Structure 1
Amino acid sequence: MPPLSRRAVGRATLARQFLLRRVRRPVAEVVTHLAGLQAQTTHSWYVGLQNRIDGLVPDEAGALLARGELVRGTLMRGTLHLVTPEDFARLRPTVQPVITRNLAHSAHGRATRGLDAKEIADAGRALLREGPLTPGELGARLAERWPGVPGGDLSHVVRGLVPLVQVPPRGVWGASGPPAFAPADTWTGRAVADAPDPDALFLRYLAAFGPATVRDVQAWSGLTRLREVADRLRDRLIALRGEDGTELLDLPDAPRPDPDAPAPVRFLYDFDNLLRGHADRSRVVSAEDLGRLATRNGMPPATVLVDGTVRASWRAVRTRDTAAVEVVPFAPLSPAQADEVVAEGLELLGFLEPERGGHEVRFAAPV
Structure 2
Amino acid sequence: MLPPSRYPSSDTSHTEPDAAVRQTDTDAALARLSAVQKGYLSDPFIRHLVPRAHLQPARPPLINVGTYVRSEGIDALVGRFLALAEQERVPCQITSARMEWLKAYFELDFPEVTMKKAMAIRKSRELSVVLGKPEDLSLANGGAALHAPTYHLLPADIRRPPAEALAPLIPLLSPAHPTLLLFECVLVYMTPAASSALTQWFVDYFAAAHEGCGVLGGIVYEMFGLDDPFGKVMRANLQARNVSLPGVDPYPTQESLPERFLSHGFEFAKALTLRDIRRSYIDEAQQERISQLELLDEIEELELVLAHYAMTWGVKLPANAGALKVSWAQQWDISASQVFPQAF
Specify if TM > 0.5. no
TM-score normalized with structure 2 length: 0.28
TM-score normalized with structure 1 length: 0.27
Larger radius of gyration: 1
